[in-house]
Amino acid sequence: MLHKLNEENFVEYSKANISIRITPKGEQIARQMIRNTRLLEILMRDSLRIDIDEEMVCGIEHHMKEVFTDALCTLLRHPV
């Protein structure tokens, strides 16, 4: 997985030096994934009133486009 992340320029990985550093591109993707996850958890808990299903959240958040994330954030009144 580290090789794949390195190829996509999400991390800088050196097997020789045993070092891993997240790149700005990787940081941006990570922040977006965290935002998507938190919004889906709030949707499930507060709006749908169902238990948070981490497996379901993980399956959905990878496929969310920015326009959907922004709309969901607005629907949920921009939770912190």
Where are the chain's structural domains? 25-80
Q: What's the whole-model pTM score? A: 0.84
Q: Phi first, then psi: what are they for 26, rounded to 5°?
A: -65, -40
CA dihedral (23, 29, 33, 34) positive or negative: positive
For 40-51, write each residue's pLDDT tens digit: 999 999 999 999
7 phi-psi bin (left φ>0, alpha ψ -120 to 50, beta other): alpha
For 53-75, write each residue's pLDDT tens digit: 999 999 999 999 999 999 999 99
- Rounded distance between C-alpha atoms, residue 33 and residue 35, angstroms: 5
